[in-house]
Structure formats: structure tokens, C-alpha cells
Amino acid sequence: MEGPSQRDIDEKLRELLAEDVGSGDVTTESTVDADLQASGALIARSVTTVSGLPIARRVFELLDFGLAWQDEMPPGQGVSAGTTLARLAGRAREILTGERVALNLLQRMCGIATATRRFVDAVAGTGCRILDTRKTAPGLRLFDRIAVRDGGGVNHRSGLFDAVLIKDNHLRLSGGVRAAVAGARRHAPAGMRVQVEVESEDQLREALAAGADAILIDNQTPPTVHLWSEIARQSTPAPFVEASGGINLENVHAYAEAGPDAVSVGALTHSVIAADIALELEKT
């Protein structure tokens, strides 16, 4: 799955900078000389998995095209507290103006990557993948999805526009599984994957009979996920099987061993614990 374009990233970053800077950085412009140069380092103050350094760099570059930057750690690298993540040098005013937006994104992305890595490690050896969800912060989805990938996870659909996922409310309002799948086949773009969320074995069998490409087993126990995965794989062709609902670090291995192709975890992005990262600057 392709990531966002640089144009999309720049557009979003300019929006975030405009939100913070508004008519101008009054504090910096009042206290720091316009000609002053500064250098510094981004330093992890907590154990974390690295994500978002290119995004942080771009925040500063949009304010100072002459910025010098050196990554010290690659994306996906686990680091301890005290590790230098990157070094930068440029115009002091612009660095200070971009600091909060850059750090907000970097800390959030490292937090997401760290959580994702923990889930990925917890299912290692099972063949099961960890997926994200649409439970992202409004306006930050493109950054959240990058962070999931840096943590070793896999992105689910980008939004409502690039895959069909028929959920419980769709089923109630459309007349059931067969009607919903038939409607999706008629109206969705040709070749688009159709996935159905199922909460009973009857719904599962109806989705399989209707020709769903993917099954989402929601809010079931690992033994039920195992049984329903086996039933699904008796179909030809066998659908993609995903499990979700109430999955955490304590039970994710059991769900992975139950046999789905993937487990989706909303907590990767909706309950982020941001990494502690500091920008330390000095005059040059």
C-alpha cells in the first residue's frame, strides 16, 4: 500500500504550522535575534521505537529551507532513554517556531510505533499480522499510519473510499448480509475488496455464501475465532480473515494462534502514550 505523497505531507504540515503560529511567533520574535543561528539535538527521554524523524525534519525545512539535518537513528529502531535521534542546525527563530509542531508529531508517532512493536513482538512466530484501524486522531491519520508501519504493523484501509467494510449498523440498515454484499458488488468500484463484520456463525456462513472477500470476526473469544477461521477457509477461494474487538497485549498471542490472517487493534492509534522527546538547542 502506497504511502502519502510529499505534497500531501507538506499540505498537512503547513496547516498544522498555521494553527500554531497564526499571525506570528510573538515570543520568539521578541526575544531572539533574526540573524542568530542555532544547533541542537532531538533526544529521547524515554524508551521508544523511532518514527517520524522525516516528518519532524520537514516541519523545520518548511520554515528554513537551509536547515542542516542528520538522522542518528533509523525508523523502527528501538532506543533507550538518552539516545540522540537527530541533529539539526539553522536559523534559531525558525527552529523555535517549528519546535512544538515537530515535537508533537514526533512524540505521537514514536508512541504509536512503540505500541505497535509490542503487539508485533507478542505475535511473533504465529504468521498473524497486526493491523491498524480508522480510530486515528482527526487530521493526523497519514502520520499515524506511517508510525504503525515503522512499528512493524500493517495498514488497514486508508478511509471509507478505498475498501468496503460492512459493519453491524450497515447490516441492520441494509437488510442483512446478502443484501449488503450484493449492494456493494453493484455499486463499489470493480475489484474493490468487500469485507463483512460477523458476530455469529450464521452471519459468517451467509457472508461466505454471498462471496465476501474478507471476514472480520468481531468481539469473539479465541476458540470461536479458531472455529470460524476454519469454517471460512473451507470456502474457495478462502477469504482473508481478521479478528478484532477487546484485543490487548495480554490476549493478542492467543488470538493470533487461533488462526486469523490478521488482528486489528484500535488502541495503536486511539490510546497513544506519547514518547518523551526533547529538543536541546544552543547558539552557533
**For the residues 95-108, what does the mean pLDDT come to?**
98
**Amino acid at residue number 213:** D
**For the residues 242-255, what does the mean pLDDT come to?**
97
**Amino acid at residue number 87:** R
Closest CA to 242 of 133, 83, 104, 92: 133
Q: Which pLDDT band, with edges at 50, 70 and 90, does 2 fall under?
A: low
Catalytic residue, from 87, 118, 134, 135: name it. 135
Q: Is 206 a catalytic residue?
A: no
Q: Is 201 a catalytic residue?
A: no
Q: In the chain, what are the domains?
A: 6-120+272-283 (3.90.1170.20), 125-270 (3.20.20.70)
Catalytic residue, from 99, 144, 197, 213: name it. 197
Q: Is 280 a catalytic residue?
A: no
Q: Which pLDDT band, with edges at 50, 70 and 90, does 226 fall under?
A: very high
Q: Which pLDDT band, with edges at 50, 70 and 90, does 33 fall under?
A: very high
> What length is written for the chain?
284
Q: How far is residue 5's CA from residue 248's CA, in Å, rounded to a whole number?
A: 32
Q: Are 204 and 224 in contact (CB under 8 A)?
A: no
- CB-hemisphere CA count at 13 Å for 151? 32
Catalytic residue, from 87, 100, 129, 233: name it. 100
Give residue-wise pLDDT tens across range 140-190: 999 999 999 999 999 999 999 999 999 999 999 999 999 999 999 999 999
Catalytic residue, from 87, 167, 205, 233: name it. 167
Q: How far is residue 194's CA from residue 212's CA, in Å, rounded to a whole number?
A: 6
Q: Is 100 a catalytic residue?
A: yes
Count Cβ atoms below 10 Å from residue 271 Cβ, excluding itself: 11
Share of the chain above pLDDT 70, in %: 99
Closest CA to 98 of 193, 21, 188, 191: 21
Partners of residue 270 on adjacent β-strands: none
Catalytic residue, from 64, 132, 150, 218: name it. 218
Residue 3: what pLDDT?
Answer: 75
Residue 1: what pLDDT?
Answer: 53
3-state secondary structure the chain: CCCCCHHHHHHHHHHHHHHHHCCCCHHHHHHCCCCCEEEEEEEECCCEECCCHHHHHHHHHHHCCCCEEEECCCCCCEECCCCEEEEEEEEHHHHHHHHHHHHHHHHHHHHHHHHHHHHHHHCCCCCCEEECCCCCCCCCHHHHHHHHHHCCCECCCCCCCCCEEECHHHHHHHCCHHHHHHHHHHHCCCCCCEEEEECCHHHHHHHHHHCCCEEEEECCCHHHHHHHHHHHCCCCCCCEEEEECCCCCCCHHHHHHCCCCEEECCHHHHCCCCCCEEEEEEEC
Q: Is 283 a catalytic residue?
A: no
Q: How far is residue 20's CA from residue 244's CA, in Å, rounded to a whole number?
A: 36
Q: pTM of the entire structure?
A: 0.96
Partners of residue 262 on adjacent β-strands: 129, 242
Q: How far is residue 121's CA from residue 126's CA, in Å, rounded to a whole number?
A: 10
